[in-house]
Amino acid sequence: MATTTNIRASAVYVFAFIAMLVLLPWSYRLSTYAIIVMSIAGLFSLPWKEKLQRLREHPQVYIFLFFYLLYVIGLFYAQNQASARSGLEQKLSLILPLLVATSVSFTEKQQRTGAMAFVYSTVALTVACFTLSIIGWSQGDIMNHNFDSHTLARFADVHSADNPIWMRLSYVAFVNNMIDPTYLSMYLVLSIAILFYFPMENKKRNTLRWIITGWFFIVVILLSSRIGILLLGLVAGLIILFKSESKTKALVYLFAFFAVLIASIFLSPVTRFRMIEEPLSTPMTFPENPTQWNSTNLRLIEWSGGIEGIKHAGILGTGTGGTHAALQNYYDQFDLGDFNNGYNAHNQYIETFLEIGIAGFLTLLAIFLFPLLYAWRIKNNLLLYLVLIVAGASLTECVLERAFGIIFYMSFISLFMFTKSTE
């Protein structure tokens, strides 16, 4: 079927889509403005008849719409309507696949341009973070940015001789409050996957790819996100397996990569503390002494609170925006010391079940499983990596409860699944 496009609207739509990807690492608010422009231009990019035709070509869109519909339904039995409306607004990005699937198609070059623009934007962000950290350290800013006072004392006990620059170049201090370390780690791991998915036409570009990959590897280690480092190992391992010419070479490369990864973890004091020393020294019980809480056992209380909340809320959940109150009721039973009781469940699967019930939980699984099966069927490794990154990070973070997470997943799902016609 011939496609009739509005050339001007289509050009604005494509530009706004790429701008959204460029702006996302820096500011989800600016990225949201790009989405607004993209939405308006997308409405006029194709006639309605062709929009309906493209929608029929992409039935996977409906699972994302259904997920959003469950949050809309959750409004009707939510106790806190202000929180419910805020939560519903936060989830608006779930409509992105519908918008993209019914707008003008991308060429392969445009898809690659969008993905690579995100990579280069992430390069710029990490260089900016590194530069600001060095400037801060050179000006004497060696205050603790990474740990509460009790955790800092435990860190100092085992790392008293380490240069304080490690603290300034690691974890929360590294990002200078620009973005959460876990979300930036996700961006970096996907960026590495993008770099190895698209072919490099010449030696210079291939060299640049390895330089950027090496830099991203270092930054993931410095960010000290436990799930981020695990995802790096998973995705890098799959890239090696898929790209190696033989099993022998794959085993050699895998051994070399994981040897470097483990050595890098031990080299960075903050990363070694978060990945190994703190978890191994933390009893898997809730401490009676409030000074003994840390990022490891806090996860236990968050997950326990979510599961306990599910038992009380039942199969429908608390309703949209209702998880905070349910979790807070559980946290109030414990003295958390320096920590507040405003945490979410730090697990997207538990958080979704608690908020919109069993239907929401099953639909959450579907928005990971459907793209995963689709990626496997069409042999799109990049889409496969994206799903594994977000589904994996959702085990320890509520990825889809924050704009940096939900826009990230919806924008790249849209780019990899819905920007081209299936005709």
- N-to-C CA span, the chain: 8
Q: Predicted confidence band at 4 (pLDDT cuts at 50, 70, 90)?
A: low
What's the predicted TM-score (pTM) here? 0.94
Report pLDDT for 2: 41
Report pLDDT for 116: 96
Which token pair is 280? 């191994």
Closest CA to 212 of 182, 190, 183, 242: 190
pLDDT at 143 over 70: no
Which percentage of the chain shows pLDDT scores above 70? Answer: 98
Which token pair is 379? 């042999």
Contact between 266 and 221 (Cβ < 8 Å): no
∠ CA 104-105-109 to the nearest 5 degrees? 130
Cα 53 to Cα 59: distance, rounded to the nearest angstrom: 11
Contact between 188 and 225 (Cβ < 8 Å): no
Cα distances from 404 to residues 20, 186, 187, 400, in angstroms, run 12, 10, 10, 8
Contact between 294 and 149 (Cβ < 8 Å): no
Spell out the residues 6+ positions from residue 88 whose beta carbon is closer than 8 angstroms to its own: 71, 72, 74, 75, 320, 321
For 228-250, write each residue's pLDDT tens digit. 999 999 999 999 999 988 889 99
CA 340 to chain CA mean position, Å: 24
Q: Where are the domains of the chain?
A: 59-104+297-423, 106-281
For 188-219, write each residue's pLDDT tens digit. 999 999 999 998 878 888 999 999 999 999 99
Cα 315 to Cα 124: distance, rounded to the nearest angstrom: 45
∠ CA 351-388-39 to the nearest 5 degrees? 75
pLDDT at 124 over 60: yes
Closest CA to 383 of 397, 362, 368: 368
Closest CA to 31 of 129, 111, 121: 121
Asked which of 136-145, 214-223, 401-410 is least confident by mean pLDDT, the reply is 136-145
> Is the Cα dihedral 364, 326, 396, 398 positive or negative?
positive
